[in-house]
Amino acid sequence: MPTTYTDTPASSVTHPVLQIPVSSANSYAPELHSVVHDHTPLPHVEPNGSPITSTQPLISASRHPSQNPTSISSSVNPEDHSNQDYGSETFIQRTAPPGLRSRLRKVLNSSWFRQNQLEKRRELELFIIEPVKHEWKCALIPCADSPNVWQKKQRAVDHIRTHLNHRPFSCRGRCKRPNCTLAFFSERDLTSHMKPVSVTLEEVWNGATFPDIEIRTSVGRAQELQLKVAFSAHSMIPTEQELCSSTLPTPLIYS
């Protein structure tokens, strides 16, 4: 039975089509876009046209392990891609159909892709097909043989961006985190990033570390416990605490 996706974020699925690893983090700092779109040649291909298994990515980015989402600092100029050869045959799957290979080369050479901008004319829709009405599939190899389908076209397009590691939806400080430069595959991911974060009292109690957000949480009325914590935007030190019971740890410890 085909797998139908209706509400799964594009960034939560691993896609091997272009041998591009999709990180568990669904965001990165856009100033690193020229590194994200830096290509590595494909592995050696046997005479029958089947590439030897390799862990070498086609499009790769240096990422530092941290909490999800990940922000990466870099001095790379995202506008400077003049020295990168996106049109070389070595950057396209040799087993891909010629027409698809040509379309992909055009996308990789486009100014909007190089500058990490949203596609201008729905170019990424070229890489999805609709074999059944209102069911879209990825046409990139090997997803062309995959049973996975999306019931919304935009979800399929978001999926294509994960193959290209293309994240045109940038926060640019629109969330409450200061100087946030995270970027995402889809508008849906960006919207989710901007929503307030809720945690349980147990997580706060255990000394979990949270980003620059305001946390409000409560437990059952029978216990009559309520905790409100507002974190300082820069120091991560609580600036306000309301403890309604002495049974809570005093003082609370934040790692």
- Give pLDDT tens digits for 166-188: 899 888 877 767 778 888 888 88
Residue 122 DSSP SS3:
coil
pTM of the model: 0.47
SS3 for 31? Answer: helix
Question: Are the beta carbons of 58 and 36 closer than 8 angstroms?
Answer: no
Q: What is the DSSP letter of 23?
A: P
pLDDT for residue 197: 56
Percent of the chain with pLDDT over 70: 36
Residue positions counted in the chain: 255
Q: What is the mean pLDDT of residues 6-28?
A: 42
Please report which confidence band the pLDDT of residue 200 belongs to, taking 50, 70 and 90 as the band edges: low
- 104 pLDDT more than 80: yes
* Beta carbons within 10 angstroms of residue 239's beta carbon: 11
Distance, in Å, from the CA atom of 40 to the CA atom of 137, rounded to the nearest integer, reads: 27
The pair of structure tokens assigned to 14 is 């691993």
- The residues, any chain, with a CB within 8 Å of residue 152's CB and separated by 6 or more, are 6, 136
Whether the predicted pLDDT of 129 surpasses 60: yes
pLDDT given at position 198: 56
- pLDDT-derived band at 48 (thresholds 50, 70, 90) equals very low
Identify the top-confidence range among 36-40, 66-70, 129-133: 129-133
